[in-house]
């Protein structure tokens, strides 16, 4: 069931924006968002931000396409089709596809050396890991904004590669047929320094990092890193964690990115709850896309896809969903935003939904601006530090979407209103926002914030008048 107004599956949506006019102030914020998307447009890919992320990221491109469909559906479709250029022969779609740019990026092709392992479909350079499989969701949204013929053409071009991607996820990353896909790096989860992943990552810190930590040499590490030029280091993951993530990349490279080899190394392996929840929803969309494109989904894949829905509920304990350590089978008992994504997947039993919504709306997660990525009373909580507390626009979008399908439309509307409040009162498209005071943090001119703002506004969501009153008169330049 798709509860969005006017969104008949497979049918075109009439954008409600034309029905509910935007006030001049809100229209100006939307223009700022559109300007950010235009400035980050590199042809048929959109970089997440002009400085920190100069290439193409998998799930960023998906959220970006969801917004772009309101501006130019064909361009939105191109954003998704361009991801197939990075597809590996085995089916993986990588987390970063490197653009033709000389702009500095701290984890560029030299760190991965994937060209030694394989050639991608489009001959482009990429990383050797994947990211949350949002493509099918984005494709269905883009398809809704197209004519029937254009959509059929778009789906025919996308479907074969997309089916191969889902096949790879199960064949390579669920070899034991558990129904849950296993991740080999926190960058695959998209939530680089969430406490769950940091618990798994810290014990494998390189020896030099451990030694420097013992003598309190964090400053020495900070001096070595180069990803924090635009963003203050305390809004990113710690240097020690970053160098540990580089060590894991090194080990993956030595394992030629092959899960059978990786399994016998020290690399932490996690059945990530958010990733698998996104996969569960993507599987449903994949069926729609494949049917419309006339592409067959192999029977074994359909069986695995069905298993994911049931397996997600094995990750639930006392009403809370957690990720699981693949090696030990233990749940990683950290309360984080990832635990709410089963609402987006639609796998939470009806009897549990209201309790989860109450938790979400409680001051633990919703101090002033919701939803905090780590509860505000958690020892790991840092309001402006990456995935350790800030509000993320994409998470709010996903959870609100799930709540709509559960018929919790008021909660969904409150989340969207609050999301718009926080963006609108900052006047800028930040990567993330403090749940305590709404201040923007991380990279500015961030594409998915801009794209999802456009999507929410054009689907009729509005900020409160309180936020509109707070719109800065001198706006930060886009
Ligand atoms: C980065 O470069 O910090 C990214 O989060 C990796 O995906």
pLDDT 10s digits, 262-287: 999 999 999 999 999 999 999 999 99
Pocket of ligand 1 (CB under 6 A): 95, 107, 187, 192, 227
| Exposure on the CB side of residue 18, measured as CA atoms within 13 A | 4
Query: How far away, in angstroms, is 187 Cα from ligand 1 center?
Result: 6
Active-site residue list = 192, 431
> Which pLDDT does position 20 carry in this prediction?
67
pLDDT band for position 478 (cuts 50, 70, 90) = very low
> Which pLDDT does position 11 carry in this prediction?
36
For residue 154, pLDDT beyond 90: yes
Residue given tokens 């509920």 in the structure block = 313
Query: How far away, in angstroms, is 357 Cα from ligand 1 center?
Result: 30
pLDDT band for position 17 (cuts 50, 70, 90) = very low
Residue nearest atom 7 of ligand 1, based on CA coordinates: 187
Residue given tokens 């959220």 in the structure block = 63
* Ligand 1 atom nearest 131 alpha carbon: 7
Residue given tokens 């064949």 in the structure block = 171
Tokens (6 digits) for 466: 């309180």
| Exposure on the CB side of residue 122, measured as CA atoms within 13 A | 17
Highest-scoring range by mean pLDDT, 16-20, 235-239, 336-340: 336-340
Residue nearest atom 6 of ligand 1, based on CA coordinates: 187
> Which pLDDT does position 230 carry in this prediction?
75
pTM of the model: 0.94
Tokens (6 digits) for 478: 């886009």
Query: How far away, in angstroms, is 72 Cα from ligand 1 center?
Result: 28
How many percent of the chain have pLDDT more than 90?
A: 83
Q: Which residue has the higher pLDDT, 356 or 211?
A: 356
pLDDT band for position 228 (cuts 50, 70, 90) = low
Asked whether the beta carbons of 198 and 270 are under 8 A apart, the reply is no
> Which pLDDT does position 264 carry in this prediction?
98
pLDDT tens for residues 113-151? 999 999 999 999 999 999 999 999 999 999 999 999 999
């Amino acid at each position: 069931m798709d509860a969005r107004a006017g969104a008949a599956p497979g049918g075109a949506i009439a954008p409600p924006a034309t029905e509910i006019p935007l006030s001049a102030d809100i229209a100006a914020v939307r223009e700022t968002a559109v300007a950010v998307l235009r400035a980050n447009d590199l042809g048929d890919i959109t970089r997440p931000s002009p400085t920190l992320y100069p290439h193409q990221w998998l799930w960023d491109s998906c959220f970006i396409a969801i917004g772009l469909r309101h501006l130019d559906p064909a361009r939105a479709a191109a954003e998704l089709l361009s991801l197939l250029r990075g597809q590996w022969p085995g089916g993986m779609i990588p987390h970063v596809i490197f653009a033709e740019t000389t702009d500095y990026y701290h984890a560029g092709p030299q760190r991965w050396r994937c060209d030694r392992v394989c050639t991608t479909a489009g001959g482009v350079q990429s990383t050797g890991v994947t990211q949350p499989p949002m493509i099918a969701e984005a494709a269905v949204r883009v398809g809704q904004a197209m004519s029937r013929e254009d959509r059929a053409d778009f789906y025919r071009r996308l479907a074969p590669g997309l089916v191969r991607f889902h096949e790879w996820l199960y064949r390579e990353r669920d070899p034991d047929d558990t129904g849950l896909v296993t991740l080999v790096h926190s960058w695959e989860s998209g939530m680089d320094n969430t406490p769950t992943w940091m618990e798994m990552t810290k014990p494998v810190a390189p020896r030099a990092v451990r030694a420097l930590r013992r003598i309190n040499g964090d400053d020495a590490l900070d001096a070595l890193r180069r990803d924090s030029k635009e963003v203050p280091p305390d809004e990113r993951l710690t240097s020690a964690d970053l160098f540990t993530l580089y060590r894991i990349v090194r080990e993956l490279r030595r394992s030629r990115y092959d899960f059978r080899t990786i399994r016998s190394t020290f690399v932490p392996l996690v059945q990530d709850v958010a990733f698998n929840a996104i996969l569960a929803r993507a599987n449903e969309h994949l069926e729609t896309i494949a049917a419309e494109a006339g592409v067959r989904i192999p029977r074994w894949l359909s069986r695995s896809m069905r298993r994911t829905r049931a397996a997600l509920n094995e990750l639930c304990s006392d009403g809370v969903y957690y990720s699981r350590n693949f090696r030990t089978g233990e749940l990683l008992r950290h309360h984080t935003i990832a635990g709410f994504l089963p609402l987006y997947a639609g796998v939470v039993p009806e009897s549990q939904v209201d309790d989860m919504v109450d938790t979400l709306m409680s001051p633990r997660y919703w101090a002033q601006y919701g939803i905090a990525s780590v509860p505000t009373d958690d020892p790991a909580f840092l309001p402006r530090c990456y995935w350790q507390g800030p509000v993320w626009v994409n998470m709010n979008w996903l959870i609100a979407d799930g709540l709509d399908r559960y018929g919790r439309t008021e909660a969904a509307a409150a989340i969207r209103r609050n999301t718009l409040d926080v963006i609108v009162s900052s006047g800028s498209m930040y990567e993330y926002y403090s749940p305590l005071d709404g201040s923007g943090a991380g990279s500015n001119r961030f594409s998915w914030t801009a794209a999802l703002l456009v999507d929410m506004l054009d689907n009729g969501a509005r900020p409160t008048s309180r936020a509109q009153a707070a719109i800065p008169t001198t706006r930060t330049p886009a």
